[in-house]
């Protein structure tokens, strides 16, 4: 009953941690860590299988198989960068406030977060930190970081708060086999920048950094065993930098048989962890098989029998005619018969005295055979353009359609008139251009006499 009640009890969810943010650990390893107590670092390094090596040798260089920490995206770093930019803005308002000669102590945690576990050189690391600390200046002529942070300020802070640690092959291990070597070759060194005082890091990052540092210590021991297990020829090529390919795996050292000394609880835990690994391995294999499984296509339907309908019936399908609609019936226009036209032309061109039909009757018949067309009196601008036209635009469009006239007399001193003329004049046209409209116009008045030139002083132009 106790077992059944424990199975029915829902499991508590683990709180979200930053391990998902900085890189997940393997599922089997995380499950084993929950149920099996963690051993000491040296014993864990010895019990690790050769396939799960922490080091790798690629392109002639020794490296770690860990993921990058990437603290640049941490919320504490984003907030600290914003605070540092505000500090720079305050210093900019003060006389001789910039450039900063020293990084203040209250901003050292930001520098530590930016350099933690970096593998760059000092010059490259200083440039990366200055790029993060210096705000982007828009519209300024000079965009150099030297105007904000003085040269050497970041390097001075790095010398006080961080160290560059080698987790590769140490110089002592190299001098054991080659006494003439004075420094560690770059291909055998694994450099990591680390904070001297871990209390400068946030509490959530402190736990992760501690675990990763212990793993790198195991990797350092593994590098020493790997370098010691090499033959003299391979070791000499490594020190000379000519060896490009080599397996970075070591043989697991023989462990004393402690199965007899271990109690029944250790055996049960080992069996439980092995069962969990087997379960997750099978689950991964099933998902992998489902990923590469070919999709089963449905059987193709049987081909339809050949369509015997006409092209018109296949193109214009039947449809329902509503009550308020009518089908358009096209009426064929009356056309002139070609044979009749040919006979009439032949009779007109012949010299016979045969009676011919009236030409006007033929023209009327020919015009009546044409298809009647409908013409619109005017087109509304709003309906044509599809855009609402205001009153001013509509008046302007009407003004453009209005006819323009030129009134000019060769004997008058008065300037000619060119403009709109919307008044309709009757009796004056192309056939009677000199007719007079005496109903509203008085042709006896000489307007040239009444016109006087206005004496307006103009502006002098120089």
What pLDDT, on the 0 to 100 scale, is given for residue 246?
60
Return the percentage of the chain with pLDDT > 70, whole number: 67
pTM: 0.41
Mean pLDDT of 137-144: 56
Mean pLDDT of 144-172: 81
Q: Which residues of 330-359 are buried (b: 16+ CB within 10 A; e: fewer)?
A: eeeeeeeeeeeeeebeeeeeeeeeeeeeee
pLDDT over threshold 70, residue 177: yes
- How many whole angstroms separate alpha carbon 113 and alpha carbon 70? 9
Mean pLDDT of 292-312: 67
Q: Quote the tokens at residue 445.
A: 């008045």
Higher pLDDT: 251 or 234? It is 234
pLDDT over threshold 70, residue 409: yes
Residue by residue, DSSP assigns 70-122 as -GGG-HHHHHHHHHHHHHHHHHHHSTT--SBSS--GGGHHHHHHHHTT----H
What pLDDT, on the 0 to 100 scale, is given for residue 260?
47
What pLDDT, on the 0 to 100 scale, is given for residue 352?
65
- How many whole angstroms separate alpha carbon 451 and alpha carbon 415? 10
What pLDDT, on the 0 to 100 scale, is given for residue 387?
59
Burial class of residue 46 in the structure, from the number of CB atoms within 10 Å of its CB (0-12 exposed, 13-18 middle, 19+ buried): middle
Least confident of 9-18, 193-202, 349-358, 437-446: 9-18
Q: Average pLDDT over the chain, rounded to whole? A: 72
Cα–Cα nearest to 273, from 23, 1, 31: 31
Confidence of residue 332 (pLDDT cuts 50, 70, 90): low
Confidence of residue 394 (pLDDT cuts 50, 70, 90): confident
Among 123-127, 147-151, 305-309, 385-389, the range with the most confident prediction by mean pLDDT is 123-127
Higher pLDDT: 142 or 99? It is 99
Domain ranges of the chain: 71-240
Name the percent of the chain in helix, strand, coil, to the closest 5.
45, 5, 50
How far are the Cα atoms of 225, 328, 448 from residue 180, in angstroms, in the given order? 21, 106, 121
pLDDT over threshold 60, residue 207: yes
How far are the Cα atoms of 185, 212, 285, 297, 460 from residue 164, in angstroms, in the given order? 15, 16, 42, 60, 82
Query: Is the sign of the CA dihedral 28, 30, 32, 34 positive or negative?
Result: negative
Among 85-99, 279-293, 330-344, 380-394, the range with the most confident prediction by mean pLDDT is 85-99
Q: HSE of 281 in the Cβ direction (CA atoms, 13 Å)?
A: 7
- How many whole angstroms separate alpha carbon 406 and alpha carbon 419? 7
pLDDT over threshold 80, residue 205: yes
pLDDT 10s digits, 47-59: 343 345 777 777 7
Confidence of residue 376 (pLDDT cuts 50, 70, 90): low
pLDDT over threshold 50, residue 294: yes
How far are the Cα atoms of 17, 66, 72, 320, 322 from residue 212, in angstroms, in the given order? 15, 8, 17, 77, 79
C-alpha R_g of the chain: 50
How far are the Cα atoms of 173, 174, 226, 244 from residue 247, in angstroms, in the given order? 19, 19, 10, 10
Least confident of 29-33, 64-68, 403-407: 29-33
Q: Quote the tokens at residue 4.
A: 């059944």
- How many whole angstroms separate alpha carbon 356 and alpha carbon 348? 7
Q: Is 241 left (phi over 0), alpha (psi -120 to 50) or beta?
A: left
- How many whole angstroms separate alpha carbon 138 and alpha carbon 142? 10
Higher pLDDT: 249 or 237? It is 237
Mean pLDDT of 127-132: 82
pLDDT 10s digits, 255-284: 444 444 445 566 777 888 888 888 777 776
Strand, helix or coil for residue 166: strand
Mean pLDDT of 206-220: 85
Number of H helices, E strands in the chain: 18, 6
What pLDDT, on the 0 to 100 scale, is given for residue 26?
43
Return the percentage of the chain with pLDDT > 90, whole number: 0
Among 28-42, 144-158, 330-344, the range with the most confident prediction by mean pLDDT is 144-158
Mean pLDDT of 416-436: 84
Q: Quote the tokens at residue 394.
A: 């509509």
Mean pLDDT of 407-424: 82
- How many whole angstroms separate alpha carbon 62 and alpha carbon 76? 32
Cα–Cα nearest to 128, from 154, 103, 148: 154
What pLDDT, on the 0 to 100 scale, is given for residue 27?
42
Confidence of residue 292 (pLDDT cuts 50, 70, 90): low
């Amino acid at each position: 009953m106790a077992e059944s009640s424990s199975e029915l009890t829902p499991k508590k969810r683990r709180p979200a941690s930053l391990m998902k943010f900085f890189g997940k650990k393997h599922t089997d390893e995380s499950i084993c860590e929950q149920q099996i107590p963690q051993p000491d670092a040296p014993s864990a390094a010895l019990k690790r299988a050769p396939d799960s090596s922490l080091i790798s040798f690629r392109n002639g260089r020794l490296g770690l198989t860990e993921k990058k920490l990437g603290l640049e995206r941490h919320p504490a770093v984003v907030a600290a960068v914003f605070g540092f930019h505000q500090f720079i803005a305050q210093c900019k308002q003060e006389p001789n406030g910039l450039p900063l000669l020293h990084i203040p102590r209250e901003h050292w945690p930001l520098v530590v977060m930016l350099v933690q576990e970096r593998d760059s050189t000092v010059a490259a690391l200083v440039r990366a930190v200055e790029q993060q600390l210096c705000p982007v200046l828009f519209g300024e002529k000079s965009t150099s970081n030297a105007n904000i942070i003085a040269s050497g300020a970041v390097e001075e802070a790095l010398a006080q708060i961080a160290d560059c640690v080698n987790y590769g092959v140490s110089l002592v291990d190299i001098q054991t086999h080659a006494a003439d070597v004075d420094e560690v070759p770059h291909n055998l060194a694994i450099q990591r920048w680390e904070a001297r005082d871990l209390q400068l890091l946030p509490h959530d990052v402190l736990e992760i950094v501690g675990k990763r540092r212990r793993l790198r210590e195991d990797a350092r021991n593994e590098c020493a065993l790997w370098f010691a297990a090499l033959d003299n020829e391979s070791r000499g090529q490594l020190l000379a930098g000519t060896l490009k390919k080599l397996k970075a795996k070591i043989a697991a050292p023989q462990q004393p048989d402690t199965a007899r000394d271990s109690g029944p609880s250790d055996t049960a835990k080992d069996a439980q962890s092995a069962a969990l690994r087997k379960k997750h391995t099978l689950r991964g294999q099933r998902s992998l098989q489902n990923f590469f499984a070919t999709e089963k296509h449905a059987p193709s339907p049987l081909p339809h029998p050949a369509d015997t309908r006409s092209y018109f019936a296949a193109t214009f399908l039947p449809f329902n005619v509503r009550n308020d609609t009518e089908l358009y019936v096209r009426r064929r226009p009356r056309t002139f018969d070609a044979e009749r036209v040919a006979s009439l032309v032949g009779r007109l061109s012949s010299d016979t005295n045969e009676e011919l039909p009236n030409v006007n009757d033929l023209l009327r018949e020919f015009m009546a055979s044409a298809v009647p067309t409908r013409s619109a009196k005017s087109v509304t601008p709003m309906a044509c353009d599809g855009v609402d036209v205001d009153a001013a635009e509509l008046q302007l469009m009407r003004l453009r359609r209005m006819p323009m006239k030129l009134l000019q007399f060769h004997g008058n001193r008065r300037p000619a008139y060119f403009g709109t003329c919307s008044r309709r004049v009757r009796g004056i046209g192309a056939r009677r251009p000199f007719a007079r409209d005496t109903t509203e116009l008085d042709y006896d008045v000489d307007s040239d006499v009444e016109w006087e030139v206005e004496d307006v002083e103009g502006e002098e132009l120089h």
